[in-house]
Amino acid sequence: MIDSILYSETEGVVRVTLSGSFSVDDFGQAMGEVVHIRQTVGPTHAIWDVTALDFSRIDLHVLRQTSQVRAAFTPRRVQERVAVIASGEIESSLMKLFLDLSEDPGTCQRVFTARAEAESWCLTGTDAPA
């Protein structure tokens, strides 16, 4: 389920929060809104928070379906960064597999388990200080 999609003009970032049961349709709707924002305001980084998403029914078939939905949208610009925040090791691994299945050449995408690290990297392009 889509909890929120918020654009910060001052930061140039879209924050998407998903929770509950995963739906390929919800993902497609969220992607559509993010792409619409990018088309309206120009290059925009994105932070996807999936820490409250239920991963129990996400398998390779669902990941492939989701990556096909992702592929239907206009490719991101090279300078745009996408950070995904996942809650643990298994969830992070599934999100990394999804990014591998749907990655656009030349885009910057990373998965994090710590919100501060994801925010820092997405906003600055550098890792947070240790």
The candidate with the shortest Cα–Cα distance to 19, out of 38, 33, 5, 34, is 5
Find out whether 111 and 92 touch, Cβ atoms under 8 Å: yes
pLDDT band at 31 (very low <50, low <70, confident <90, very high): very high
In a domain, 38, yes or no: yes
Residue 39: inside a domain: yes
Determine, yes or no, domain membership for 129. Answer: no
For the chain, what is the domain count? 1
If you average pLDDT over residues 108-126, what whole number do you get? Answer: 92
Q: What is the mean pLDDT of residues 86-114?
A: 87
What's the pLDDT score for residue 127?
A: 77
In the predicted structure, residue 129 carries a pLDDT above the cut 90: no
CATH of the domain at 85: 3.30.750.24
pLDDT class of 38 with cuts at 50, 70, 90: confident
In a domain, 29, yes or no: yes
**Domain range for residue 114?**
2-124
Q: What is the band of 125 on the pLDDT scale with cuts at 50, 70, 90?
A: confident
For residue 53, tell me if it sits in a domain.
yes
What string of DSSP letters covers 65-90?
A: HHHHHHHTSPPPPTT-EEEEE-SSHH
The answer to whether position 130 is within a domain reads: no
* Res. 78: pLDDT tops 90: no
Q: Which residues of 79-116 are buried (b: 16+ CB within 10 A; e: fewer)?
A: ebbbbbbbeeeebbebbebbbeebebeebbbbbbeeee
User: In the prediction, which pLDDT does 72 show?
Assistant: 84
pLDDT at 33 exceeding the cut of 80:
yes
To the nearest whole number, what is the mean pLDDT of the chain? 89
Average pLDDT on 81-88 reads 95
Q: What distances in angstroms separate CA 31 from CA 14, 15, 24, 90, one per listed residue?
A: 11, 12, 10, 23
Residue 104, pLDDT > 70, answer no
**Phi, psi at residue 24, to the nearest 5°?**
-60, -35
**Rounded mean pLDDT of 61-69?**
92
* pLDDT score for 21: 94
